[in-house]
Amino acid sequence: MRITKRTIDEVNLQGKRVIIRVDFNVPLDDSLKIADDSRIRAVLPTINHVADEGAGVILCSHLGRPKGRVCPEFSLAPVAKRLKRLLGKDVTFAPDCVGPKVINLASQLKPGDVLLLENLRFHPGEETNDPQFASELASLGDVYINEAFGAAHRVHASTVGIPTFIKTSAAGYLMRKEVECLEGAVENPTRPFVAVLGGAKVSGKIGVIENLGKKVDKVIIGGGMAFTFLKATGLEIGQSLLEDEMIAFAKGIHAHALERGVKFYLPVDCVVAASLEPGAETKIVPIQEIPEGWYGMDIGPASVKLFSEAIQNAKTILWNGPMGMFERDAFARGTQAMAHAVANAYALTIVGGGDTALAVHRAGETDSMSFISTGGGAALQLLEGGHMPGLAALPDR
């Protein structure tokens, strides 16, 4: 599927100053070092292309949730350091994203120079889409390129505000790839098409479940949300995560899938814990035998085998959401096994960003996937067929 928006290859960049909205919202460890730089690496082709075309590069991004205040722990300084290493050239780091000092740095850019602005969200105007703030950002450059798919579902100054104040704007290579892969997989998949859906809550994926349920050949449900589906079948689930208000919805989705001939898979066993405390007693039990008072935390080995066999003949696999509380080693095996199974399938494999991308990274299978989205919430919104303000703000071809 071809994106309908103007893209970077259709824009004259030579001699321009190009503002690129990137998504450098990378995970940081306790010592504020970058834990995973895949979001930075994903936009290197666009940055290099703009620089090679003889333009000055101005990068802007958010990091974390500083809520309109300057918070040193959310500074993009570690990103500037990593970007310099990845590009193999100097990267100037601005002390702010607007103001006289930033204007001065932007005005001094020579062709091929790279300037990274400080965290956009240090200013309240970013998240409120303040026109004055958007205008100040836009004044730094001549061309705007949106590469921040992970923020394209937000109505922020840097995603929808800047394009209203700048004459030329377009989607970057990553934005184009995200939209074409995700929309293409859903609208025109090579079959059999299998959706693997996990994560904590059914309520967070209502739109995705409804939209994909009409298009897939098989659906596999894991993670905390599986227990609401299991409860809807009449099973007792102990103290496992349950959304009472979603039981009727889960029952309806299951019934509609079966009516349409869609194969519907739920866990057959799970890893349970006596409490939510680290180090609590754990054991593997069939789904029908979850002890009263215990918590379902991960899919079990029989479920892994069932799910792995279900995707073996797939030609397209879309995976969004981990199979359990993978952040804890004791409950990471189901998600890791699923990552290996998806990676080894002879299929187009698309991973829907966020926690799933992190889980794939931890399983060491990043390079084995056909495409890993850089946007968690944005990928969900696109998969449910929802409106993407950051994309809508760009001109059509």
Q: Is 214 a catalytic residue?
A: no
**39 catalytically annotated:** yes
SS (H, E, C) 355-385: HHHHHHHHCCCHHHCCEECCCHHHHHHHHCC
Q: Which of 64, 204, 377, 385 is catalytic?
A: 377
Structure tokens at 115: 């300037």
- Helices 225-232 and 247-259 pack at an angle, to 10 degrees, of 80
By the 10 Å C-beta count (0-12 exposed, 13-18 middle, 19+ buried), 139 is classed as: middle
Whole-angstrom distance, CA of residue 151 vs CA of residue 220:
28
Beta bridge partners of 59: 20, 116
Rounded CA-CA distance 325/337 in Å is: 13
Is residue 85 annotated as a catalytic residue, yes or no? no
Among the listed residues 141, 334, 353, 354, the single catalytic one is 354
Among 5, 21, 39, 82, which one carries the catalytic annotation?
39
Q: Cβ contacts of residue 26 below 8 Å, gap of 6+?
A: 34, 35, 36, 37, 39, 40, 63, 79
Residue 354 designated active-site? yes
Q: What is the largest CA-CA distance in the chain?
A: 68
Catalytic residue among 201, 251, 263, 362: 201
Active-site residues, by number, are 39, 201, 354, 377
